[in-house]
Amino acid sequence: MTPEQRLNEGLVGLDVRLPDDTKTQLLRYVGELFKWNKAYNLTAVRDVEGMVIRHLLDSISVLSVVTDERCLDLGTGAGLPGLVLAIINPDQHWTLLDSNGKKTRFLTHARIVLDLKNVTVVNARVEKWQNDELFDVVVSRAFTELSRFAELASPFCSPGGRVIAMVGKDPDVAIDDVVGGCRVSSVKSLKVPFDEAERHLVQLQPTN
């Protein structure tokens, strides 16, 4: 099965419809990631089809939840989920933050090659990042354990903003639990097509 076929079948499984030019951009991103990964070891996933499943489809699984205008992806790595969602939603603005210089250089390259006007790349440690802008949502995919992520993310949230964590195993938290200074508002199991790994989405609201 070609990467394009795998993406199309995965989108059907997620009940997501995307324009052909958007799908082309997503596959171009994966192609660039595959090339850079050979030299810079940006991800443990080595094959293009695996990248479509574990990177594209995994990121797209939260598409209906991340509908905000100003978005921050903490510990974005190779741009997951932020760069993928920025490709799909040009009306959103994504700031992608990572402390790894190789990964942010790749993200800068991808932003230029894909002509993404709605992406800002930041090379910094989140603990030391000085930023005046606040965000509607702060997202992470397995950046660090849940309470630590909530603690790091909440200062960057605008009033009424949300913290969203993409995690693997069931985080064993309940609605209204307070984790890292944030109150849990929802916990949802995610099903990523062609991937049997356990996935969950936790939404939280800063309490201060």
The CATH number given to whatever domain includes residue 178 is 3.40.50.150
* Spacing of C-alpha 132 from chain mean position: 22
Residues linked to residue 186 through DSSP beta bridges, in sequence order: 203
Number of alpha carbons in the 13 Å side-chain half-sphere of residue 107: 31
| Residues contacting residue 163 through CB under 8 Å, at least 6 positions apart | 137, 138, 149, 150, 153, 154, 157, 182, 203, 204, 205, 206
Considering its fold, how many domains does the chain have in total?
Answer: 1
Residue appearing with tokens 């089809």: 49
pLDDT tens digits for 148-199? 999 999 999 999 999 999 999 999 999 999 999 999 999 999 999 999 999 9
% the chain with pLDDT above 70: 100
Whether 202 and 140 have beta carbons less than 8 Å apart is answered as no
Q: Give the global pTM.
A: 0.96
| Residues contacting residue 191 through CB under 8 Å, at least 6 positions apart | 13, 61, 199
pLDDT tens digits for 120-145? 999 999 999 999 899 999 999 978 89
- For every residue of 132-175, DSSP letters joined together read ---EEEEEEESSS-HHHHHHHHGGGEEEEEEEEEEESS-----T
Q: What is the mean pLDDT of the chain?
A: 96
The sign of the torsion formed by the CA atoms of 100, 101, 106, 111 equals positive
> What is the Cα–Cα distance from 153 to 65, expressed in whole angstroms?
17
What pLDDT is stored for residue 178 in this prediction? 96
In degrees and rounded to multiples of 5, residue 74 shows phi and psi of -90, 130
Tokens standing for residue 31: 């192609």
* Spacing of C-alpha 182 from chain mean position: 20
pLDDT tens digits for 43-56? 999 999 999 999 99
Full residue range of the structural domain in which residue 30 is found: 3-206
Whether 190 and 174 have beta carbons less than 8 Å apart is answered as no
Number of alpha carbons in the 13 Å side-chain half-sphere of residue 42: 27
> What is the Cα–Cα distance from 118 to 87, expressed in whole angstroms?
9
